[in-house]
Structure 1
Amino acid sequence: MNEETFQPGSIRRLDDGFEGRLQRVIEHATDPVWQMLTDPQKIAQWLAPGSIELRQGGAVRIDFADSGILIESTVRAFETGRLLEYSWSSGAEPDRPLRWELTAVGQGTRLDLTVRLPASEDIAKACAGFEGHLDMMLAALEGVPIRFPFERFLQARKAYQAQLASLAD
């Protein structure tokens, strides 16, 4: 996507860190989008190999083997087809809640992703990474999975860094 059409999400400062909110309106019904978030074969197409036990308290395991990052977490909030929340962390790492919410809009779906990070971590990098992964999800929904779009990541990171700078003013 070019810079004219790219609309980054928003970042806001919290007492203990930052919150990023990303949104996509997807031209697919909620069921296929939900499958992308929860089915192990689908998750691997746009995020990384992993599995999520679909219940509150269920285990979450996502393995980014190439980068050495392993997410081992627990489902905190769950409503079939609508809501999934877990921490993007493992063990004693800081809490990094991710909240995925789906809402039917016409024939499609609005996906809202909320990412929270401690103040010591780079929210611009995290949001930019999820922008890239959401692009990967959209491509997978169309049946044409893509590799991580590094140029999109760089474009998004620059936009989010500008938002952070404006928060500091």
Structure 2
Amino acid sequence: MSELTQVLGRIERDGDVVAVVFDRHYATTPDDLWQACTDPERLARWFAPVTGDLRPGGRFTIHFDDADTPQCRIVTCEPTTRLVWEWPIRDVATVVTADVTADGEGSRLVLRHERLTSTQVAGYAAGWDTYVRSLEAHVAGLPGPDWDVTWSALHELYAVTS
């Protein structure tokens, strides 16, 4: 199967509240994966530039290419294992949780973005799916997928399942 014919995440529903969840193995150590998820220099390579205070209670801004600049707040930071932050989307403080654990010869990232609406989930699922693919390439030292092509193909797939 081509990498763009299947989605990597799953959508969970609780009434009108929706979450997208990714559970992925990475061929790197938990410490390296944690650094890739929390170091601004590394985040810019696979996710987006991030500025601000990445400590508990701190606030930071994500600078996406499309001029979207959400102002987020760290809720929980347990170095090397758990990061939880609020990501405001319109008038809702959505919540993103990243859990990092050892997994055999590598590590595992369980990424969950919750409090999304049914109309938002396909776009955010496609975005996170593209990012977890980019993270996999980043830790392997390879170039990531083309954002626009990957997101568009995945958005169509998630739109059908959401």
With the length of structure 1 as denominator, give the TM-score of the two structures: 0.83
Q: How far 1:35 moved relative to its partner?
A: 0.8
| Off by >6 Å, runs of 4+ in structure 1 | none
Counterpart of 2:112, as a letter, is T
Q: How far 1:147 moved relative to its partner?
A: 5.6
Aligned length: 162
**Alpha-carbon RMSD:** 2.3
Q: How far 1:70 moved relative to its partner?
A: 0.7
Alignment-derived partner of residue 38 in structure 2? 38
Alignment-derived partner of residue 167 in structure 1? none
CA distance in 2, matches of 1:4, 1:143: 21
Kindly indicate whether residue 84 of structure 2 is the aligned counterpart of residue 85 of structure 1: yes
Alignment-derived partner of residue 67 in structure 2? 68
Alignment-derived partner of residue 111 in structure 1? 109
Q: Residue 77 of structure 2 contacts residue 83 of structure 2 at CA under 8 Å; is this kept in 1?
A: yes
Q: How far 1:123 moved relative to its partner?
A: 0.3
CA distance in 1, matches of 2:45, 2:122: 24
SS at match of 2:51: strand
- String of CA shifts for 1:20-50, please: whole Å, max 9, x gaps: 1112111111111111111111010011111
More displaced 10-residue stretch of structure 1: 1-10 or 37-46: 1-10
Alignment-derived partner of residue 8 in structure 2? 8
Q: Which runs of 5+ in 1 are unaligned?
A: 165-169
- String of CA shifts for 1:88-140, please: whole Å, max 9, x gaps: 227x7321111111111112111111011342642011011111111111112
Q: How far 1:16 moved relative to its partner?
A: 4.2
More displaced 10-residue stretch of structure 1: 43-52 or 144-153: 144-153
With the length of structure 2 as denominator, give the TM-score of the two structures: 0.87
Which structure is richer in relative contact order (CA contacts within 8 A, separation 6 or more)? Answer: 2
Counterpart of 1:13, as a letter, is R
CA distance in 2, matches of 1:101, 1:89: 20
CA distance in 1, matches of 2:4, 2:140: 23
Q: How far 1:72 moved relative to its partner?
A: 1.2
SS at match of 1:70: coil
Specify whether residues 147 and 39 from structure 1 end up closer, same or farther in structure 2 by C-alpha distance, changes over 3 A only.
Answer: same
Q: Residue 78 of structure 1 contacts residue 84 of structure 1 at CA under 8 Å; is this kept in 2?
A: yes
- Listed as ranges, the matches of 1:148-163 within 5 Å are 148-163=146-161
